[in-house]
Amino acid sequence: MKRLSRYRRHKAAGPLLLIFALFAIGTTFSVASATVTETQSVFDRSASIEEGKQIFLKGCSSCHGLNAEGASIAPSLIGVGAASVDFQVGTGRMPMADMSTQAMRKPRVYNEEETAALAAYVASLAPGPAIPGESELNYERDGNTAEGGELFRNNCAMCHNFAGQGGALSQGKYAPTLMGVEPKHIYEAMVTGPQSMPVFSDKTITPEEKLSIIKWIKSAEAEPNLGGATMGRIGPVSEGLLAWVLGLGLLIGIAVWLTTRAR
């Protein structure tokens, strides 16, 4: 300790301490928030349909109609199923903040229980895709990465890009990135076809195939940068930019130095 205290007045001590403190706070915080999510993820299946209806009337009916029958500005929710609600509300897309072209992912408004209640209510209106359970989402066990990649490139890459980074649709709409999306939500999106996305039926892409797709997405997400910084994994546009800015930029810098006289 004595040896340490000697460096107390060193000029680098202040900044170093600050960095250390920030690091410590960050780590504690991330650990703490991780525990919070874990406790929240306990799924409360006992949510009553009635409770869901009350939430619906307060938060959703102004657009989707009092009986979820839909209106000119929002689609009918009859028959969309619990999976659809869980995806839209669970990723914060619904309720929408404004009537823009596309509902985007944002911090969720309703917590787990409220979402479950809403889902139960909407599911009670007409049969539709159910929320997949934990056991149905064991992609590590039931999926095959390579097969998933093949399916992904055939069915998903045209919108979400070859590495799941997302891409442009027409008129300002876009396919969002798939990086960091929970497996459950990916699965729900495939069976329900939220917003611009089409439905991928269980008969044409089987549940096992869907798990393979999820497994591939997760493997792409976890893949380290094998060849250096990836620049967004969006293809040659960023590469060309880097060749001009960094490549030619550095070379011009050296060329200027090379051709000036030494003093």
Partner 1 sequence: MTTTEKKIGTAANFVDERLGAAKWVKKSLNKVFPDHWTFMFGEVCMYSFIILLLSGTFLTFWFDPSQKEVVYNGSYEPLQGLKMSAAYASTLNISFEVRGGLLMRQIHHWAANIFMAAIVAHLLRVFFTGAFRKPREFNWILGILLLTLGLVEGLLGYSLPDDLLSGTGLRITSAIIQAIPVVGTYAAFFLFGGEFPGTDFIPRIFTLHILIIPGIFLAVITIHVMLVWYQKHTQFPGVGRTEKNVVGHPILPVYMAKAGGFFFVVFGITAFISAVASINPIWLYGPYTPGQISAGSQPDWYMGWLDGLVRMAPPLETHAFGHTISWNILIPAVIVPGIIFTGMALYPFIESWITGDKREHHLLDRPRNVPNRTALGVMSITFVMISLINGGNDIIATNFDLSINQIMWFSRIGIFILPPLAFIITKRLCLSLQRADRELLLHGAETGRLLRLPHGEFVEVHAPISPEKAYLLQSHEQLVPLEIEDVDARGVRRPGAIKNKLQRRLSKAHAVSVPKVTEQELKEIENH
Partner 2 sequence: MSNELTPIDDSALPQHAPRATDVSPASEKRAEQQVAILFGLSGVGSLLLIYSYIFVKDTVFIFIPIMGNQNAQQLGIGIGMAMSLFFIGIAAIHWAKTLMPDKEIVNHRHEFRSSDEDRAELVQTVKEGVAGVQLGRRKLIKRSLGAAIGLFALPPVLLLRDLGPLPGKKLETTNWKVGTRLLTDPGNRPILASDLEVGAVVQVLPAVADMEHRPLSDIAKDPVLLIRLRPEEFQLDAERLAMTHEGIIAFSKICSHMGCAVALYEQTTKHLLCPCHQSTFDVTRAAKVIFGPAARPLPQLDITVDAEGYLVARAPFNEAVGPSFWERNSQ
Least distance in Å: CB of 235 to partner 1?
5
103 versus 118: smaller Cβ distance to partner 1: 103
Question: Which position has the token pair 């889902």?
Answer: 119
Q: Does 84 bind partner 1 (CB under 8 A)?
A: no
- Considering Cα of 48, then 52, then 55, then 58, what sign does the dihedral take? negative
Q: Are 70 and 64 in contact (CB under 8 A)?
A: yes
> Site for partner 2 (CB under 8 A): how many residues?
38
The single residue among 172, 227, 236, 256 that binds partner 2, judged by CB under 8 A, is: 227
Render the burial of 131-162: b for 16+ CB within 10 Å, e for the rest.
Answer: bbeeeebebeebbbbebbbebbeebbbebbbb
Least distance in Å: CB of 88 to partner 2?
14
Q: Does 256 bind partner 2 (CB under 8 A)?
A: no
Residue 197 binds: one of partner 1, partner 2, none (C-beta under 5 to 8 A by kind): partner 2
Question: Which residues, 6 or more positions from 178, have their beta carbon under 8 angstroms from its beta carbon?
Answer: 156, 160, 164, 165, 166, 186, 217, 221
Stretch that binds partner 1, among 13-21, 124-132, 192-200, 233-241 (CB under 8 A): 233-241
The single residue among 15, 180, 198, 228 that binds partner 1, judged by CB under 8 A, is: 228
The single residue among 22, 146, 202, 206 that binds partner 1, judged by CB under 8 A, is: 146
**Mask: binding to partner 1, 32-71, rule CB under 8 A, as x and -?**
----------------------------------------
Question: Which residues, 6 or more positions from 53, have their beta carbon under 8 angstroms from its beta carbon?
Answer: 121
Structure tokens at 37: 């999510």
Q: Does 158 bind partner 1 (CB under 8 A)?
A: yes
Q: Does 158 bind partner 2 (CB under 8 A)?
A: yes
Closest of 74, 106, 111 to residue 91, by C-alpha: 106
Least distance in Å: CB of 216 to partner 1?
6
Closest of 39, 44, 131 to residue 89, by C-alpha: 131
> Site for partner 1 (CB under 8 A): how many residues?
56
For 53, counting Cβ atoms within 10 Å of its Cβ (0-12 exposed, 13-18 middle, 19+ buried), the class is buried
What is the rounded distance in angstroms from the CA atom of residue 200 to the CA atom of residue 10?
63
Footprint of partner 1 (CB under 8 A): 145-147, 149-150, 153-154, 157-163, 166-168, 170-172, 174-175, 216, 219-220, 223, 225-231, 233-244, 246-248, 250-252, 254-256, 258-259
